[in-house]
Structure 1
């Protein structure tokens, strides 16, 4: 049996245990020796990160070749239209190549979320909307680059799901352990 930790990572926390002066890390939230992150989530992104004590499980979760889907809730600047959503579904050409096709839809209604510190900037003259984007690869800052490439810069990025695991039932900054 392997130990799996589901953590709802707050904004501004590094996906590592090694301390950095003045920056929070996983060690500020999780005390479970022998468990390590299965993949990363940028400091300025929030949501689900998985940790495990099983190297094979860690590889299966983190390795893009294993094609484990990751679902993100993305607050974007502007108003998503069907053309932009279809571009995301077809794959977006980035500097490092074409992304694999994604699932993309307008997220309505917007789920009830925790407040972020600091809050997302709001511009009275530019609307913002939420989309749900599911990908099966993990290029560096991929979701942010994809939305920007189709004219919808990301304002807030929350990973909701990895494979079949979600952060349901976890407040921001909370974690729970499961046996798999």
Structure 2
């Protein structure tokens, strides 16, 4: 039977079990998960937080990570400024990035979510407001959400992956993981 691990990856942790060969020392999955034979299904940048799925099943790993399966990935995104309807529509219809136009996304404003504090906290500027969005994408380009929000004039300040498909990070504190049934 396949193992599937839901992990709430803290800010600053690499989505791999080993250090970058020439990079600065950073925490890795090895610092949190001591299970042989499981590997990340997809990636989450070191400066992003939230749900990272790990499994020991190569087929399941491919189904989760490969964009051809169009598994939805939902993010809570704190952005600089307050996007208007036109900015949200651009996200919903696809944004032109250097590597092409993104697939349409689901994008909506969100009341400030009740999340764990980030360490270190985001920078706050009194003269520039910020707000939260939910953004659901069905592809996984490098730093895609950050590039999409920047392209519509609202750089990302904090990025939390909340869900992948039916799996969610709800109820898991940063650094916690739990095994669930794979489906």
Per the shorter chain, which TM-score range? over 0.9
Within-5 A mapping of 1:1-180:
1-20=1-20, 22-108=25-111, 110-180=112-182
State the 1:24 CA deviation.
0.2
Structure 2 spans left out of the alignment, 5+ residues = none
Taking the aligned partners of 2:12 and 2:96, their CA distance within structure 1 comes to: 29
How many angstroms does 1:168 deviate by?
1.1
Q: Deviations over 1:76-133 (max 9, x none)?
A: 000111110000000000000000000000012x221111111100000000000000
Structure 1 vs Structure 2 CA RMSD: 0.8
* Corresponding residue SS for 2:64: helix
Cα distance in 1 between the residues matched to 2:164 and 2:181: 16
Deviations 1:128-147 (A, max 9, x none): 00000000001110000000
Q: Deviations over 1:128-174 (max 9, x none)?
A: 00000000001110000000000000000000000000001101110
Worse-matched range after superposition: 24-33 or 13-22:
13-22
Q: CA deviation at 1:69?
A: 0.4
- Following TM superposition, by how much is the alpha carbon of 1:178 offset from its aligned partner in structure 2, in angstroms? 1.5
Q: What is the TM-score of this pair, normalised by structure 2?
A: 0.96
State the 4+ residue runs in structure 1 displaced beyond 2 angstroms: 19-22
Secondary structure of the residue aligned to 1:51 is strand
